[in-house]
Amino acid sequence: MERKLGKGAVALMTALAITVPVGLIPGPALAVVFGDIRVEGNQQIESGAVLSTLDLPTGQDVSPGQINDALQRLQNSGLFETVELVPQGGQLVVRVSEYPIVNQISFEGNRRLNDERLAEIVRSQPRRVYQPSQAIQDAQAIAQTYAAEGRLAARVDPRIIRRSNNRIDLVFEIQEGNVTEIERIGFVGNRAFSDRRLRNVLETKQAGLLRTFIRRDTFAPERIPLDERLLTDFYRSQGYADFRVQGTASEVARERDAFFVTFNISEGPRYRFGRVDTVSEIPGVDASAFAEQNRVRRGGVYNPSIIDTSIRRMETIAIQQGLNFVNIEPRITRNPQNQTLDLTFALTRGERVFVERIDIEGNTTTLDQVIRRQFNTVEGDPFNPREIRNSAERVRALGYFTDAQVETRQGSAPDQVIVGVNVEEQPTGSLSLGASYGRASGVGFNIGLTERNFLGRGQTLGLQVSTASGDRAAGINFIEPFFLGRDLRFGFAANYNETESLNSDFDTRTIRIQPSIEFPISENARIELRYRIGEDDLSNVTENSSTLLQAEEGSRITSAFGYTYNWDSRRTGLDPLTAYRFRFSQDFAGAGGDTKTITTTALAGVESTAWRESVTLRGEFEAGAIYSYGDYSTWILDRFRTGNRIRGFEPNGFGPRDLAAENQDGLGGNYYWAARAEAQFPIGLPEEYGIQGGLFADVGSLWGLDQTIGTDGVAVDDAMSVRASVGASIFWTTPIGPLRFNFSHALRQEDYDIEQNFDLTIQTNF
């Protein structure tokens, strides 16, 4: 079909032919008619797809505005590098130049982040149409990833390499730059504490001598709110109730390789507690039982944690008395004149609110039931905020999650709440590596693999292997913490151990299998019941050994039932500064097998913090006794040996010995006791180095034999001779895990004892 065009239409067609944007054409907006539309230059994109995007009718009037819109649609489709609309008579020719196809994507200049990590970031894909805008976004995403790693000066440029058949290689050229470290952390307004002391409080650290190993000295804006909260918590724990952070300034150096962070703070006065009392505003509820749980003392320095501890103790009493909907409200009255705070714990009646349901989110591996069983509250129970907080702490204490948030929200009715649990999982496997050195045993190594959340069921599966000069051991253990759907801890352990002349002239081999069940009898106490069966073998006793050992050579089977009572104050955590534990254990052998003994051990320990919680003090006392009955006499594999009960001595390095024998083998003992004291404290190095010091002192003894007539009829000295040692430790938190170096010196020992002056332990996680 032909149609004569007016002068205005001819001018329009000429303008299109020279590809001037249609929207800028001067003159009257006259319509044109195209009898046909032809697409040229397309290779990968079908013509039908181009015409569909163009969306211009044929055989109808088309305005310049419609043509301009069609041109914009093609250009914005992201499929074409260039687009031209060229009229030829009554036909419109659409000439396109397609974007090339991405052949491959590569990275150049990256050393800190490997190609696999970067490939997960970019959204451009091989065998897809190249889009410059997407390539620019990918470059920005890579640069942001480097910034999160502390390299704010990183630069990423996308480049293309032309290939045949309209293909390209997309290359991201990366200049990683140096780590943008925090060169200085300063404070304005601090008078009570030095800059150095306050820097130790922060999660963010200032770059120092070990900047190569420390990554917390890189600037991360998201850590600033945490640092401000840590500062606030620290000052308030020291009595500064009015402390606040007025602002934080972060300045970057011109070269973008360093940051300067300054905290502007207001300390305020330091408060002490004034009048402290407890009142009940609930009819029929006596406040005296609650007042006994108060740990705040008049004249003490204000500390919110002590108030919170007292509230937790009082709420525990309320739960024990079956009192629901009871609030413990701390009411504080400031006395600026004498800088004291009057505190009143008021027992008030809370709202009658019930738990509608518990929602759990974020757990991809861990089963819901593992989290839900940490809650003593179930649907329909009265809502107790303290019990919910305690449950949240138990969820976090599992160690399965990097973050576990427990929040409440309004339910379907005013008296209903929904408890929401949102967790973020983390690896729960651990790899432990250990090393030790002894003068007699040489260098020893051990490796252990442990999965604490096996198959997401909260079960523990562990494997340990160790080897040293003359000592090899292997073991496997399994723990189900919620056996039969109840608070029953089922355990199974199998161990194999053999020694070859370990500070002795004989070999031993031990094989043991032990199932057990553990259950609570109070909030802080648990009982374990177990059965153990095993075979012990003593072999290769030389003629130079004690005649006592020569008589004991052979193997014996042990079948024993036992129990352990374990009390630990950390289970409830009602005193955050001091923890106590006590363990009492007995094993009764004789229900079959060859061994007839009663073995009893006990341990008591305490750990506390002092000097503004900067020093940790630990003390332990343990003792044991083994009693043989019938015509049975204990042998060396029944008796206690030194182990690591007293640092500064080799395993089997002290205790009764047959001095008339040529090799003077250690014989072990039927009784032992040991007391250990230790202090861990800062040694003046910046906290970011993760290095602390320690001092320890150990004292104890190992003694007692059933048979004391040894070689040549000479009596063995099995008296209770006291050994003592002192030493120093270095604790170093490193990227591969915490290290501990022990340097020991024996103060009191016998001439035949074997000392160990140094040992090292290592542990790391994966």
Q: Are 622 and 602 in contact (CB under 8 A)?
A: yes
pLDDT at 370: 92
CA–CA separation, 722 vs 716, rounded Å? 16
Greatest mean pLDDT among 114-118, 291-295, 700-704: 700-704
Q: What is the mean pLDDT of residues 513-532?
A: 94
CA–CA separation, 574 vs 739, rounded Å? 30
pLDDT at 762: 60
CA–CA separation, 561 vs 483, rounded Å? 20
Q: What is the mean pLDDT of the chain?
A: 85
Q: Which of the two residues, 442 and 351, has the higher pLDDT score? A: 351
Query: Cα 112–114–120 angle (5° rounding)?
Result: 120
Strands (E), 611-736: 615-628, 671-682, 691-703, 723-734
Q: What is the mean pLDDT of residues 443-472?
A: 86
Q: Are 387 and 408 in contact (CB under 8 A)?
A: no
- Token pair 């809370």 is found at 350
CA–CA separation, 108 vs 256, rounded Å? 22
Q: What is the mean pLDDT of residues 452-473?
A: 87
pLDDT at 10: 31
pLDDT in tens, 152-181: 778 899 999 988 888 899 999 998 877 777
Q: What is the mean pLDDT of residues 472-499?
A: 92
Check whether 701 has a pLDDT greater than 50. Answer: yes
Residues in CB range of 299: below 8 A, 6 or more apart: 272, 273
- 546 burial via Cβ count (<10 Å: 0-12, 13-18, 19+): buried
Q: How many CA atoms lie within 13 A of 422 on its CB side?
A: 5
Check whether 275 has a pLDDT greater than 60. Answer: yes
Greatest mean pLDDT among 113-122, 153-162, 495-504, 549-558: 549-558
pLDDT at 597: 97
Range of weakest confidence among 411-415, 432-436, 505-509, 544-548: 432-436
pLDDT in tens, 216-229: 457 777 788 889 99
Check whether 54 has a pLDDT greater than 90. Answer: no
Cα-based distances in Å from 182 to 208, 218, 253: 9, 6, 10
Residue 197, both tokens:
């002391």
User: Among 640, 758, 619, which Cα is nearest to 699's?
Assistant: 619
pLDDT band per the 50, 70, 90 thresholds, residue 2 = very low
CA–CA separation, 204 vs 225, rounded Å? 11
pLDDT at 606: 94
pLDDT at 28: 44
pLDDT band per the 50, 70, 90 thresholds, residue 104 = very high
pLDDT band per the 50, 70, 90 thresholds, residue 62 = confident
pLDDT in tens, 332-345: 999 988 999 999 99
Check whether 438 has a pLDDT greater than 60. Answer: no
pLDDT at 664: 82
CA–CA separation, 135 vs 126, rounded Å? 12
Q: Are 723 and 755 in contact (CB under 8 A)?
A: no
Q: What are phi and psi of 233, to 5 degrees?
A: -60, -40
Q: What is the mean pLDDT of residues 710-735?
A: 88
Max intra-chain CA distance, the chain: 137
pLDDT in tens, 391-414: 888 898 888 988 888 888 888 898
What domains sit in the chain, N to C, each tagged with a CATH number?
7-98 (3.10.20.310), 101-175 (3.10.20.310), 181-266 (3.10.20.310), 272-349 (3.10.20.310), 354-425 (3.10.20.310), 500-765 (2.40.160.50)
Q: What is the mean pLDDT of residues 193-205?
A: 84
User: Among 95, 157, 160, which Cα is nearest to 130's?
Assistant: 160
- Token pair 């120093």 is found at 728
% of the chain residues with pLDDT over 70: 90
Check whether 257 has a pLDDT greater than 80. Answer: no
Query: Cα 423–426–427 angle (5° rounding)?
Result: 150
